[in-house]
Structure 1
Amino acid sequence: MGKLQSKISSHTSKYRADGSVEETGPVRAIQQHGPAHTDAVTSVAALKPDLCVSGGRDKSVAVCSWRSGAALRRFIGHEREVTKVTSALDSSRVFSASRDKTVMMWELHRTSGPSQHFPGHDLVVTGLAVSPDASHLCTGSRDNTVCKWDTETGECLGRATISRNLVTHLCWVPGEPYVLQTSEDKTIRIWDSRELRVAHAFPAKQHIQTCCDASQDGRYCLSSSSGSAGEGGEATLWDLRQTRNRVREYKGHFQTTTSCVFLAQGPALAPSIATSSYDSTVKVWDRDTGACLATLCLEGSGPLASLAVCDSSTLLCASLNSGIHVLRLRDGADLALEEVAVF
């Protein structure tokens, strides 16, 4: 699918050190490509070097070039909405979870259907985390369970149930046997995947925890909170080595913060994170000071569902109304966040 048309980008804001806000106005034309999905995009994840995988309410899983917007593969097999997608780096395996209570594994270079099924949950599957070598998969559901699977055989290697642990997201900690998990019971848990037991639970937050991410060095964890009317909606930084208290909070979204990610370290960019929200904004934050460095409002996009980091200057944002947005971080006197394409 090639470029169809262009339009003027939405407004961006830059946050100065003194707390003032500078409106930068229209920035550049946004490249419009053919849509990756025919309905809301619920989840997006980056594939190396220039591909992404996404899932949507149209029940499909799409593999696209985020540089050109071209759809390269489309996987069909789920009976209901796809809720989460993920993949291990340098792997040809893609995983998808669905409201049909199943998880499927797809091979990028296979032309047929899924290469593996993982049934076993009683309700919608809402969490996916794959080990760095793609040999094991952890899944979580609203049925209060977390499961561990062998991706080669499809065998369930473990199943743990915790009362009221309605899983919202899972994330594997790089270089470690640990999996992070957020829940509707407002708790962030660290699972030891070897024994599928909870190694640690952080102090419960005031709101439902919607998403989590781990830093590449395996030291920090991010979680995001539900919220409305300016209450809640924050992201929280936790130290995985000193697990007693939170390190920092990032407050500024007016509704539920749906996704939080650590940004790849650029040559001129301090350690930073990004968040997306139902309030249609994406924010970039200084990880260490908590300062908001840039805000982008994706007008008309509706609620934003998911973020994915492509490289040190590119983010993908899945939206419920307008597809997948390609966002670019631009360094200068002040950091700017711009939309450059949508598909």
Structure 2
Amino acid sequence: MLLAALTELLSAACMCSIMGKLQSKTNYSTSKYRVDGCGEENNSLKTVQQYSPAHMDAVTSVVALTSDLCVSGGKDKVRNIAVSWAMALEWIQGNVMFLELPAADIKVATCISDSNRFFSASRDKTVMMWELHGNSGPAQHFPGHDLVVTGLAVSPDSLHLCTGSRDNTMCKWDIETGACLHRAAISRNLVTHLCWVPGEPYVIQTSEDKMIRIWDTRELQVAHTFPTKQHIQTYCDVSPDGRYCISASNGFGGEGCEATLWDLRQTRNRVREYKGHFQTTASCVFLPKGLALAPLIATSSYDCMVKIWNQDSGACLTSLCLDGSGPLASLAACDSTTLLCASFNSGIHLLRINNMKGLELQEVAKF
């Protein structure tokens, strides 16, 4: 019923017409980002299933709502008029559902795991909550930021939302009422990403001032800052057990571009760095425990590469080049062997980790 209701919002004929008009306009130059010899490193040799594109422009954010359902946001534009979309995708069946969001393109999305609720933040400063089984419009609004909202994090008990913005502020919200409970501002704290520590009242935040902060959300105060990095910190994630944090760094030509592991119990120094990308590392995620004996971390970069790392040793175990994809903006782990990767040029890529003949990362489908 949900698929039937939502797909009526966008007819197949309209999609084909729009895609034809935008095909020549939405591609970002890959030569600027691609690593030399990237195509030779692509170990995804099997046929890739191609579905109709889920977005009509760069995809900037993808998150896993359940193990087989995701939400994504992008810079979709129609006839040069800014239009935004939130997309829920059942990738097993290749079914796509669209919800239209007003105003500017989506910068970031997040969700409450194993629920029908997800959140979007757009360039026009709007933050909204959506329900897949609700009305077509937003279920809640969270107004109050003065500039684009670039970070969202939901509390483990699903009661509170934290937002961060380029206006140097952090806000804590009551999800049910939409009320702003706390607001804090720090000079030059241009927020790039947020993530909530499982089972704790703490939020990790990265910033353009190269700082990584731990916020105590009870009064929304900074509880700790990690040693300042040399480059802008673009993204962060927390391990499922709440013991470790990983942050990603911008950079160019191999300088910067690393991911950094931090111990949340011993917060003085970094544990190790994961170096190997040649452009900005835009996303980093802990992978759920699976076939591999060691814990794994995945990163994606503007160099068109996705890499899997041994968390303990720092060794890169496998790499996959998505040649022609342009910058890879976001990663989401659906389960221990399945990743979704959002790209600027080629939509969303479904990746599988194969352990049959040593660890191998393969592209299975894209949409």
TM-score by length of 1: 0.92
Q: How much does 1:89 deviate?
A: 1.4
SS of 1:337 mapped into structure 2 = strand
Superposed displacement of residue 212, structure 1: 0.0
Q: Distance in 1 between matches of 2:70 and 2:233?
A: 25
Can you give the 5+ residue segments of structure 2 that lack an aligned partner in the other structure?
1-6, 13-39, 77-83
Structure 1 segment 53-68 matched on structure 2, within 5 A:
53-58=71-76, 59-68=84-93
**Separation (CA, whole Å) in 2 of partners of 1:68 and 1:310:** 15
**Shift of residue 229, structure 1, vs aligned partner:** 1.1
1:249 correspondence with 2:273 = yes
**Which structure features the higher share of helix residues?**
2
| Structure 2 counterpart of 1:300, one-letter code | G
Which residue of the partner structure matches residue 7 of structure 1? Answer: none
Structure 2 vs 1, CA of residues 269 and 172 (structure 1 numbering), >3 Å: closer, same or farther? same
RMSD: 1.6
* Matching residue within 43, 51, 63 for 2:69: 51
Pair 1:98 & 2:122 matched: yes
- Aligned residue pairs: how many? 324
Maintained 8 Å contact 1:213/1:221: yes
1:28 pairs, out of 31, 34, 46, with 46
Equivalent residue for 2:298, pick from 249, 254, 274: 274
Deviations 1:47-88 (A, max 9, x none): 11310000011211111112233113x222331010011111
1:38 corresponds to 2:62? no
| Residue pair 1:91, 1:134 contacting (<8 A) in 2 also | no
Amino acid at match of 1:303: P
Contact 1:75 1:106 in 2 (8 A): no
Secondary structure (helix, strand or coil) at the match of 1:29 reads coil
Q: Is the 8 A contact 2:233 2:247 kept in 1?
A: yes
SS in 1 for 2:242: coil
Shift of 1:143: 0.4
Q: How far off its partner does 1:90 sit? A: 2.1
| Rounded Cα–Cα distance in structure 1 between residues aligned with 2:94 and 2:268 | 43
Mapped contact 2:44–2:361 kept (Cα < 8 A): no
Aligned to 2:96: 71
TM-score, normalised via structure 2 length: 0.86
1:259 maps to 283
Task: Give 1:92 deviation, angstroms.
Answer: 1.5
Kindly indicate which of the two structures has a greater share of residues assigned to strand. 1
Cα distance, 1:24 vs structure 2: 7.5
Other-structure match for 1:191: 215
Moved over 6 A (4+): none
| Conserved 8 A contact 1:105-1:115 | yes
1:12-67 per-position Cα deviation (integer Å, ceiling 9, x unaligned): xxxxxxxxxx9685521000011111111000000113100000112111111122
Residue identity matched to 2:241? D
Deviations along 1:105-153, one digit per CA (max 9) or x if unpaired, are 0011013300111111111100000112321100000000000001111
- Counterpart in the other structure of 2:255: 231
Cα 1:26–1:260 shift into 2, 3 Å? closer
1:305 to 311, 329, 334: 329
* Helix, strand or coil at the partner of 1:252: coil
Q: Structure 2 CA distance, aligned partners of 1:277 and 1:87? A: 23
